[in-house]
Amino acid sequence: MGALKQTGGKQLARIVFDEATLAARVRALGREIAAAYPDGDLLVLGLLKGSFIFLSDLVRRIERPLQVDFLGAASYESRQSSGSVRLVYDPETPLEGKHILLVEDIIETGNTINRLVKVLRERRPGSLNICALLHKHVAERLELEPAFVGFSAPREFLVGYGLDHAEDFRHLPYIASLS
């Protein structure tokens, strides 16, 4: 595996989830999701930017017809959630009557998910569920608990496999903690 990466003076502390562990869990999530949605229109809605790698791997493991779209929300400044959420990209795909699976990289404060669940429910989907790669279990109240979770995450700042710090580290094939 080699030495942990360093970028712009930022050092990785340890690998939390390696490539093989991620791949195995994504395969299992794909099977769980396919079983949960045996029929009907399924729209897998990826939350940009953090979910894009996970989403890409996940949709290839869901063995049923589906559509993919994205939405973008911003809520972070440096390593802290700003507390406010703003939509920066809204999906163009009609949502009414479809099974919507919102794919998120990590659930921490719950601010982003809570805002997006309210917005998506207003569009009258047939069903709405969340698939989160990581869940820190620190949010005080979630509008909708995730139906599918990859891993419970430690209370560390995590990067890699789509998660970033100031746009660095997204490209790593594993998830690591930032020191």
Q: Has residue 112 been placed in a domain? A: yes
d(CA 120, CA 113): 10
- Write down the pLDDT at residue 112: 87
- Write down the pLDDT at residue 44: 97
Residue spans of the chain under pLDDT 50: 1-2, 78-79, 81-82
Q: Has residue 78 been placed in a domain? A: no
Q: Has residue 53 been placed in a domain? A: yes
Q: Has residue 116 been placed in a domain? A: yes
Q: Has residue 21 been placed in a domain? A: no
Q: What is the CATH number of the domain that holds 46?
A: 3.40.50.2020
- Write down the pLDDT at residue 73: 80
pTM across the whole model: 0.88
- Write down the pLDDT at residue 132: 98
- Structural domain tally of the chain? 1
Closest C-alpha to 139, from 87, 75, 86: 75
- Write down the pLDDT at residue 106: 96
Q: What is the extent of the structural domain holding 143? A: 35-73+83-156
Q: In what order do the strands lie in the sheet with 10-17?
A: 6-7, 10-17, 175-178, 158-159
Q: Has residue 57 been placed in a domain? A: yes
Q: Has residue 19 been placed in a domain? A: no
- Write down the pLDDT at residue 37: 96
- Write down the pLDDT at residue 1: 45
